[in-house]
Amino acid sequence: MTTRACLASLVVAALGMPRAALAGEPDDPFGRDLFGPPSPAKATPPAPPVAPPDPSLPGPIADAFAKVRPDRPPKRLTNDKHYIISNERRLDFWSNSVRDVGGLFVGVGTDQNYVLAGWCKPKVMVLMDFDQLVVDLQYVYWAFLKASASPAEFIARWTPDRRSRSRAKATLVAEYEDRPKILKAALRAYRYSPKTVFKRLARSRDRFATHGTPTFLNDSGQYDIVRSLVEQNRVFTVRGDLLADRTIADIAKAASRFELKVGVLYLSNTEMYFNWVRGFKNNMLALPMDEKTVVLRTLPVKPADYRYLVQPGLNFQGWIRANSQKAVWQMYKKRRQVGPPEGRLFVIDAEPPAK
């Protein structure tokens, strides 16, 4: 036995290790020769690449909401006017009421829906209005959101000077050139709107900043939420009438099919203009709601603004089922104020009268 082998035997004996350790055999817990160079580590095959999950709305769900039927156009518009912006100034009163409720967002109007979406983070948004121009204006919002990396850039795209108008039209063409009907509708809605929308967005941005409320107009995180909803094909627009028999019925059917509950139902001040007729009641009862559903509405107050009302969805449906209730005003009497006395935030959660 050589001197090296003798020495190795002594070391092995002293350590109480089996002789197989000399050759780095399986009994060696370290897998190496005690006196030779380290054995090469066994190569671990690389894990197959994992594709990141697709954040886009799954095809069957997107198809269902894309196929929501429009209601018939109205014979005339409310006050013969296109309401392409909201005049509700204190949407921030609602920010905590809708925080992270998720689910399905159903709303009327334009800019206010995107403000609310940043707070509630819906899975799907369906924006409806019975004015086709308002419906088509959503296409402009979507194109500008996709093309703008920040709130400032998005608002700037609405600047009404000649150079900005040319740039805006180019953005619309780039987004919709393969969908000529939508492009035509978007260009028509844009021609009517930049000055008015720019003023509304800029003033809203400043007002929210003054009140310390992050929104998609003044906060990059909120903006990214809203922009992602559009990029992921989670926002839909349709001409709809709250009293008619197609749009809301189809929204309710699609939501129920995919077990999607309404997170926010935003009615604005629409209930001022009609009684709770059978068509409206049927539509509201068809929408799938649960304990998280929030109904938002405004009702006018002087000077030139609104009271901002929050109501649990199931409570609202309970009032709808109470057949003695013919209009929102009967329920409105049961409101209670929350927050400071000078505020204008109210909750309706009183139990409806017996049938």
pLDDT score of 25? 41
Q: Is 44 within a domain?
A: no
Structure tokens at 42: 């066994």
> Averaged over 214-236, what is the pLDDT?
98
pLDDT score of 209? 97
pLDDT score of 328? 94
Strand order in the sheet with 235-239: 235-239, 124-129, 104-108, 262-268, 294-301, 305-312, 345-347, 336-337
Rounded distance between C-alpha atoms, residue 43 and residue 231, angstroms: 41
- Tens digit of each residue's pLDDT (9 = 90 or more) over 232-253: 999 999 999 999 999 999 999 9
Rounded distance between C-alpha atoms, residue 307 and residue 93, angstroms: 10
pLDDT score of 303? 76
Q: Which domain holds residue 238?
A: 59-347
User: Model's pTM, two decimal places?
Assistant: 0.85
Q: Is 78 within a domain?
A: yes
pLDDT score of 206? 98
Q: Are 142 and 161 in contact (CB under 8 A)?
A: no
**CA-atom Rg of the chain in angstroms:** 30
Rounded distance between C-alpha atoms, residue 110 and residue 145, angstroms: 13
Residue 8 burial (CB count, 10 A) = 18
- Tens digit of each residue's pLDDT (9 = 90 or more) over 71-129: 999 989 988 899 999 999 999 999 999 999 999 999 999 999 999 999 999 999 999 99
Q: Are 265 and 252 in contact (CB under 8 A)?
A: no
Q: Is 151 within a domain?
A: yes
| Domains held by the chain: number | 1
Lowest mean per-residue pLDDT among 17-31, 178-192, 303-317 = 17-31
Structure tokens at 40: 């090469």
Q: Is 21 within a domain?
A: no
Q: Is 262 within a domain?
A: yes
pLDDT score of 50? 58
Nearest CA-CA partner of 101 in 132, 129, 122, 124 = 122
Rounded distance between C-alpha atoms, residue 317 and residue 315, angstroms: 5
Q: Is 114 within a domain?
A: yes
- Tens digit of each residue's pLDDT (9 = 90 or more) over 264-316: 999 999 999 999 999 999 999 999 999 999 999 999 988 778 999 999 999 99
pLDDT score of 324? 78
Burial of 132 (0-12, 13-18, 19+ CB in 10 A): middle
Mean pLDDT of the chain: 88
> Averaged over 130-156, what is the pLDDT?
98
Q: Is 269 within a domain?
A: yes
Q: Is 90 within a domain?
A: yes
